[in-house]
Amino acid sequence: MVPELLAHGGVMMWLLLLVGATACAVFVERLLHYHREHIDSFDFLNGVRTVLRRDNVVEALSICDATAGPVPRLVKTAILCREHGRDRIREALAQSGLLEVPRLEEKLGLLATIAQTAPIMGLLGTVLGLIDIFQLLQTQGVAAPAGLLAGGVWQALVCSGAGLAIAIPTYAGYNYLVSRVRSIVLDMEKSSVEILNILTEQVSLS
C-alpha cells in the first residue's frame, strides 16, 4: 500500500516524506534531551545544601558538574558568586537563565515550521495533480484515458492526505515539547530562588 501511495504521490510526496522524517528525528532528539535535562531538583538541592553546610564548596561544585541539566548549571553559577552578595547572585542567575532557555527551545522552531508548511506542501501537490488532469483534458479532450486522469486524482488526494498526516502529529508533538520546556523553566526559577536562599543563609551563619 505504501509503495503504491508513493508512486501516485509524485515528487511532492517524496518531499513530504523527507519533511516528516525530519520532524520525527527532531521530536525524538528533543524528547531525549529534555529527559536528560529534567532532574529531581528537590533532592539535588538538598544534597547541595548538606555539602555547603559543611563548608565544602569544592564538593558542591563537583556535584553540579556531575549532574546534567540547566538547574545544576544555575546552581554552580550561584555558588561561584556566593561571596559577592545577594544582588550579584540574583543577577548572575538571571543572566545564566537567559542563556539556558534558548538551548531548551533549540529546534522547536523547526517543528513549528514543519507543522505549518506540511499542509501547504500537500496543497501544492494537489494543485500539481489537478494541473496534470487539465493538461490531459486539453490535449486529448473527453477521450483522455480514465487511467491517466485517475493518476492526477491520485496525486491530488495522496499529497493532501500526507500533508495533513504529517502536520497533525507534528503540531501535537511541538505543543508537548513546549510544555516540557515550560516545566523545566519553572523548575529553574524555583531552584534559583532556593539556591539564593541557601547561599544567603550560609553567609549569615558564617
3-class SS letters over 96-121? HHHHHHHHHHCCHHHHHHHHHHHHHH
- Give percent of the chain with pLDDT exceeding 90: 46
pLDDT in tens, 165-192: 999 999 999 999 999 999 999 999 999 9
Which cell numbers in the block locate residue 171?
503540531
Question: To which residue does cell 536528560 refer?
Answer: 36
Look at phi and psi of residue 195 and say left if phi exceeds 0, alpha if psi is from -120 to 50, else beta: alpha
Residue 146 Cα to chain centre, angstroms = 46
Q: What is the mean pLDDT of residues 109-125?
A: 92
Residue 58 has pLDDT above 70, yes or no: yes
Give the model's confidence band at 197: pLDDT under 50 very low, under 70 low, under 90 confident, else very high: confident
Q: According to the model, what pLDDT value does residue 86 have?
A: 83
Asked if 166 and 17 touch (Cβ cutoff 8 Å), the reply is no
Residue 13 Cα to chain centre, angstroms = 25
pTM: 0.83
Q: According to the model, what pLDDT value does residue 141 have?
A: 59
Most confident of 72-86, 127-141, 172-186: 172-186
Asked if 26 and 111 touch (Cβ cutoff 8 Å), the reply is yes
Amino acid letter, 63: I
Helix (H, G, I), strand (E, B) or coil at 81: coil
Which cell numbers in the block locate residue 22?
525530519
Between 20-24, 146-150, 187-191, the lowest mean confidence (pLDDT) is in 146-150
Q: 59 to each of 17, 48, 52, 206, how far by Cα in Å?
A: 50, 9, 8, 18
Residue 15 has pLDDT above 70, yes or no: yes
